[in-house]
Structure 1
Amino acid sequence: MLVSDKHQTLHSTQIAAPAEVVYGIVADVTRWPQFFAPNVHVEHLEQGEGFERIRIWATANGEVKNWISRRELVPGKLTVTFRQEVSRAPIASMGGTWVVTPVDERTSLLELHHDFTVVDNDAAGVEWVNTALDRNSEAELAGIKDIAEQADALDELMFTFDDTVHVEGSGADVFDFLNRADLWPERLPHVARMELTEDEPGVQVMAMDTRTADGSVHTTESVRVVFGEDRIVYKQTTVPGLMTAHTGRWTLVPAGTGVEVTSRHTVIIKASAVEKILGTGKTVADARAYIHQALSTNSTTTLRHARDFAEGRRG
């Protein structure tokens, strides 16, 4: 296998936020799916003093890719260096560094350096990687800039909640109901349309029309990652107008002779859209209540139908 010469890229942005705030966002990968448009899910594989190994699922040029990276974090220098352990074709190797530089007390420069090689000296592969890096890096930088510049309001804009239902049935049957989202239009009253593809086992790309309690229909697109038979995580890659981000997960935990099934949602509200969508005078608090009710109603409906499905099979 021939590998091309090393290619290098640099993407940067100036951010109206202190360098420590910006570095904190770069360093905390657990919130990347909410902050960065391309990132679907991040799993910690190993953590130690100044380093971590993570597995990332992200979109690149319309495809869902996943890889394992090792990151070296140096808070004193405001840098995070990363290197893919095993890359996916056309990439042969990939690494780089996040660098945060203070401009003044309230302003910082964020730079994202990449270096990469491609398989077989393929010019088309180089073009594919450059295109993906341009698109994803610009999206990630924009996400960091947006979050950092409204960091003081983030506690109000971002929230998480759970809905849990006990099922006196088999966890495998509950999982089957949740996993077979392609059958949801037949099984769930609030799902009007579903298109689902699973080109790679365990990675599902979905487009869905959902009815809310007020009768409106929202179109969303999502990527789901399926882990075993007890957890499904997802990210909406196209969200309703009131949100800038929506991620979630379904988890199953044995409980007595059945299982506890939980739906978790994490949402970031788009503050500029609140009055446009909900009406003059409406606030972020109103948006939180509206979104919470809409999502909770639909997820609880799904959980109850999953319960009825599993308990019916046991019965």
Structure 2
Amino acid sequence: MTDIKDMMTVLLLASLLPGGVRCQKEAVFVYSILGGEALLPCTKLVATDCSAVTWTFFKVKYTEVVSGGRVNADSDRAGRMTVTSNCSVIIRDLGVEDAGSYACLHQQQVFTDVYLSLLTITSASSVTELQPGGNLVLSCILFTYFDAGSCKAYSSGVFGLRWQKEDRTLLPDDTRYQLIENTRCNITLVTKLQTEDNNRRWRCQVNVTEHSRAAFLDFKSSFLFQNTPAAQTPKPAVHTECSFQLPISRIVLVVTLPLMLCVVGFFTWRADQKRAKTSAAAFELQEVR
């Protein structure tokens, strides 16, 4: 009886053992910003080359972005995607369409599910409101696998958004700062601007799990119009009257020059008269002869 019980125990334990080596796929959450770049890791993969690696992207439908270890030429990410030496993927110049679910497969077996989310900040404030006393409205939105603002939970992992100051500390609990939208994927901040807020940076950061790398984005509030000091009363122009005196030498020159011209003209006229008389007398004498 004892032998039968021992045999049944062995058979039960044997049935619980896996029939082969299995790989438990891993879920990785990656956060980046619009216009930035992201590294999508293919974890737990040990391969000498990437010729048997495939990357798929899912958003509404599945598409293969990497086949045989190479980026598909007809993919809309072909010019922005690179496969690394360890079969991970780098995507540059990220756009909203890149947010979604990626999967790394080796010989059609999924090794890693990667969920890529992208962060952005928009402002509803006009340029004229960026001044002391104006209202600054900033919306921090996380574009996720479920699209922007839709904060359904993933299979694992916790994420959220928060506003911080330049020194990475949380904004104080003050009536000056109001959150009119506060969800895991969309937080909108309204604050009354003060003079010291000129060129200040407002930071939105993603709260992530310990296995994810945090992402943040800054917005700089630069004032176009500022309060200028009271206009100073212009001083009246001072007109100074100066007595202008000519030097004596110039006075003498001004007086004598016209006189000299008259004298020269007079003597020139007299000389012309004498020459005319002499010529007339010579002519008469020649006629008499």
Identify the TM-score tier after normalising by the shorter chain. Answer: under 0.3
Report the structure, 1 or 2, having the larger strand content.
1
Report the structure, 1 or 2, having the larger helix content.
1
Structure having the higher Rg: 2
TM superposition score normalised by structure 2: 0.23
Structure number with the bigger relative contact order (C-alpha 8 A, sep ≥ 6) is: 1
TM superposition score normalised by structure 1: 0.21
